[in-house]
Amino acid sequence: MSLDRDVFASSFTLVANTTTNATVNVTLVDVTVPGNVTFNAFNMTVQKDVPTASVNVTIRFKVTQEWIAANSIDKSSVVLYHFNGTAWTPLNTTYLNEDAEFVYYSAETPALSVFAPAGNPVQDNTPPTFSGWVPANNTSVTTSKPEISVNYTDNIGLNLTTLVFKLDNIDVTNATTKSLTGVSYKPASDLAQGTHTVYVSVNDTSNNMNSTTWFFTVDSMPPYLISYTPANGTFLASSSVNITLLVNDTVSPVNTGGVVFKLDGVQKTPTITGGFATGWTINYTASLSDGPHNATVTVPDSLGNTNTFLVIFHVDTTPPTISSLSPANNTVTGDNRPTISANYTDPNGISTASVRLYVDGTDLTASATIGSTGISYTPAANLSDGTHTIELKVKDTVGNTAWSNWSFKVDTNVPVIYSLTPAAGSTVTTLTPTISASYTDPNGISTASVRMTINGTDVTNAATVTTTGIVYTPAPLTNGTYYTVSLVVNDTINNQATAQWTFLVAIPDTTPPTISSLSPTAGATVTTTTPTISASFSDNVAVDPASVVIKVDGVDVTSQATVTASGFTYTPTLSEGSHTVYVSVKDTSGNERTVTWSFTVSIPAPAPAPAPAPAPAPTPISNTTATITLSIGALTPTSIDILSKAPASSLTTLEITTNESFPSLQVSTAEYSENPTTTPLPSDVTPVSFIKIEVNVPSGAVTQATIKFRVSKSTLTSLGLDPSTVQLFRLDTTWSALSTSLVSQDDGYYYFEAVSPGFSYFAIAAKSLVPDTTPPTIVSVSPEGDITEKRPTVTVKYTDDISIDFLSARLLLDNVDVTALATVNSTTLTYKPTTDLSEGTHSLYFEIKDTSGNKASKNWSFTVLDTTPPVISALKPADGSLLTNATVTISASYSDNVAIDVSSVVLKVDGVAVTPTELTSSAVEYTATLSEGVHSVSLSVKDTSGNTATATWSFTIKLPVPDTTPPTITIISPTKDSTLSTKSVTISASYSDNVAIDVSSVVLKVDNKDVTAQSTVTATGITYSTTLDEGTHSVSLSVKDTSGNTATATWSFTIRLPVDYTPYIIGAAVIIIVVAIIAILLTRKK
């Protein structure tokens, strides 16, 4: 110990009864100590730090527990000695308290000097004592890491260096927590289940040793399941179900009063029997409905360790469901080798070996394809027309049976088509004949199947279709044309009939051709000796070009002319003067038209350079004077609105450009219906109107004028003029055509503009309208080819050299007219389906006419690619399911909107690809024997378009514990070694098993004779009634469970009939009566 810690405080009581401190010097002093006591290995000098004399001095000091123990000092004998200069004197010393390291004292001294503590060793023969054992001796704990401790004490003191702590004879002292009052130990790892031994020993400071040994049991394990019935996942065919569990515990007994038995969540009261030797049997019998059921059994032991067991099973008394009969019951099919099929399903699964298929009473099961979900059979030979009967039998794996009977009719006769109109080979004299046909079939007509085409064009949508016939009235047909009608008709079972016939449209033609557009016009004067002579032909049927005759001045010039079916042109060299033209033309029916006209060739004398003076002008139909004030420089165009000045004018706007600036200028206009000049227009144009424009600026000041004008549509129509040929002509010395453009149009007018180098007389003129025989041009269509969009926008663009009649547009999608849903204008049609199109090829037909009635049409198609993956369903075993059998059938179904690529099917079990035991275009199946545990399944399927679908699921196999427990036999009567007083005996016994009793195994013998056949035997007991003789009889009973475990019981009983004392009693009574009579007689005699 350290000297500087041995004195912990000093205080002094002074003469004035006050307290002061003292200076304590712990100093070794060379002074001889007394020999009759044991001194501490130090002494100390205590001096006052005040001069006042003290009355009493109290010194508090401490000594180490180590010194006490090492010297076996009696703590109560410790005294503080005072050295007075010559000798050591003991002081009055008091024990205060102690801790694990020190013992504390106080002493009183009258004077200060040198001091030293000392004590007397004692002879200690008393060992330490133990108390407070944890866990208590022979008790049980439910934790595998219990706190182990014991308390100890000693009258002198403990030497903790001697402590020994052993657990199960293994020294764990170094891992303990120890103090002067006790020791504790907590295992670092779990203790084994069962009993454990603790040993603790310790010496006191006198080296007296004591030890203690105690025992405790660790039981942290709950009860365990030995066997149970029904097995998990079992399907039971009976509604009466016996649920039995055999449980036991490793250490502690089962607390039968704490067992909680719940059936489908409702608590029940089971029967519980047994003990440690055989286990505890928990049994409950219930009548249950079809469907899944579960029993949850919670079993505690006497320490409260609890385990819960789950029994899952199905009650199935319902036969399989048969559906999807094909052909459907009471239907008619046109296929004389139809696929006969049906689906079946059952929660318990189907016994495919039980399936039987009968066709017209003949068993054809061997020829059918049988799966776990359905059966399919296709006859090898054609079935006869008429009714056929099907019978199907199916059992589930429990044995519940379902039957289904149905019938269908085979009819391969096609519909009858008759009453064709117009008759085949006939000639009709109308352009709109009624085209019709009648049809009939015993099974009825599918009106959706009816299709009529005329010369290859489908007209079905425009026809009236009923279940008995079709009627179609066409737009006017072409005269002299043969028309072929094709008709397709299906009955309701798709037997198809076709008909085709031809007729001729021929209307007698009595109308001659028309000759028009004569040039030069009749009475005209031409100023050239080589005029072009021409005319146009037309006919309601057709012009015969070979019939044309052309004569000029009586001379036939036909061979020198260019002749077509629409007209001729001929350019001769003529003299001045009058000339006569004769033209004759016939149509193909021989009708003739002739025309004769004259014109004059006159070559004028050379004219003077100035422009010819105009002839007296007719009265203008419109005129205006407009003054324009210019604020701009030269060459800048300036506009004037003519219509605001003269609303009746053909002029609309003038834009004037000058070569110098003017403060103002005045523009005057006038319009005439006739030529106000003497200069004729070119002979190939017809005037619409004439215009005069004047400006009050010097000649040549106007460098350019843009003239904007309008032409009435009705005027052009009445004159037979072609709007596309309208031009503005300007008169200089002759009429010259200006560059003219069509700017716009509205309902009443076409609007044009032309550029002129100056102002003069102007003429609006156009050429005669040439009949339009050119149909519109369909510029582009979309979509085409392969697409993925299921609602694509259909776009058709078109144009025409004249104009489009966009109201005539017609769009068919897959032969359905969708025009009403389309957006149409003069250049484009667009249509977007309102519902998704099916995947596959779709046909489109479009037609449109121009305003002349010429029609253009186009057929095309596009394909909507398949982007929909297959659908995987009916996964078995169900995801997350618990199976109790090692042999497992894994299956799944799949389907696709197009078709499954069977070669793409990949089935993996636990990550390894397997070869299916059954693989079709709609399902896959694989049977294997697997180990206990969790198993994963993955399935990958592609359709024929390459779209992939995958599915993953898992299930767990938990095999039931093997049954090694034999049945239990309970003797009911007669009891063992009993004695009966009757020969009529009923021998009975009951038996039970944790799984099930094999009733066929029961054998009962009486006096070594087998009487089983004469007994009443059930799954729970046996009864035998007989009559036996007096004596001892032996009985033996043998019973097996369904696992083959055997139990036997033997016992004996004795029949001892009671003694019949009746004869003896009667005899004695007779003797007594006789004696009495004798006595009476003797008495009377006396």
pLDDT of residue 531: 94
- 610 has pLDDT over 60: no
- 1065 has pLDDT over 80: no
Distance CA 1081, CA 760 (A): 200
Contact (Cβ atoms closer than 8 angstroms) between residue 812 and residue 845: yes
Tell me the two tokens of residue 565. 């079916």
- 50 has pLDDT over 50: no
pLDDT of residue 622: 62
Cα distances (angstroms) measured from residue 628 to each of 663, 696, 707, 969: 9, 11, 16, 135
- 811 has pLDDT over 80: yes
**Tell me: the pLDDT tens digits for 51-82?**
444 457 788 888 888 888 888 788 888 888 88
**Tell me: the pLDDT tens digits for 654-687?**
888 877 777 677 888 888 989 999 999 999 999 9
CB atoms within 10 A of CB 30: 5
**Tell me: the pLDDT tens digits for 101-129?**
999 999 988 777 788 888 887 677 889 99
Q: The domain at 968-1055 falls in which architecture?
A: Sandwich (2.60)
- 337 has pLDDT over 90: yes
What percentage of the chain exceeds 90 in pLDDT?
A: 53
CATH for 514-601?
2.60.40.1220
Contact (Cβ atoms closer than 8 angstroms) between residue 795 and residue 846: no
Query: Where in the chain are the domains?
Result: 3-119, 129-218, 224-315, 321-410, 416-505, 514-601, 637-766, 777-864, 871-957, 968-1055
What percentage of the chain exceeds 70 in pLDDT?
A: 90
Tell me the two tokens of residue 376. 């399919």
- 186 has pLDDT over 70: yes
Cα distances (angstroms) measured from residue 561 to each of 123, 548, 579, 598, 854: 168, 10, 17, 18, 30
Asked, colleague to colleague, whether 514-601 and 968-1055 share their fold, the answer is yes
Look at 610 and 527; give whichever has higher pLDDT: 527
1031 residue type, one letter: G
Distance CA 496, CA 501 (A): 17
Q: The domain at 777-864 falls in which architecture?
A: Sandwich (2.60)
CATH class for the domain made up of 321-410: mainly beta
CATH topology of domain 871-957: Immunoglobulin-like (2.60.40)
What pLDDT band is residue 636 in, cutting at 50, 70 and 90? low
Over residues 454-471, the mean pLDDT reads 96
Over residues 977-997, the mean pLDDT reads 90
CATH topology of domain 224-315: Immunoglobulin-like (2.60.40)
The candidate with the shortest Cα–Cα distance to 525, out of 489, 570, 574, is 574
- 482 has pLDDT over 70: yes
Residues 6+ apart with CB under 8 A from 1033: 985, 1006, 1007, 1052, 1053, 1054, 1055
Contact (Cβ atoms closer than 8 angstroms) between residue 620 and residue 670: yes
Over residues 461-487, the mean pLDDT reads 93
Distance CA 1002, CA 895 (A): 54
Q: What one-character DSSP code corresponds to residue 495?
A: -
pLDDT of residue 910: 93
Pick the CATH number of 3-119 from 2.60.40, 2.60.120, 2.50.20, 1.10.10: 2.60.40
pLDDT of residue 227: 94
- 2 has pLDDT over 50: no
CATH for 416-505?
2.60.40.1220
3-state DSSP helix/strand/coil percent for the chain, to nearest 5?
5, 55, 40
Q: Determine phi and psi for 256, rounding to 5 degrees.
A: -65, -30
CATH topology of domain 129-218: Immunoglobulin-like (2.60.40)
Lowest-confidence segment of 248-257, 411-420, 607-616, 742-751 by average pLDDT? 607-616
pLDDT of residue 808: 85
pTM for this structure? Answer: 0.32
CB atoms within 10 A of CB 77: 15
Distance CA 158, CA 665 (A): 142
Contact (Cβ atoms closer than 8 angstroms) between residue 102 and residue 69: no
pLDDT of residue 617: 52
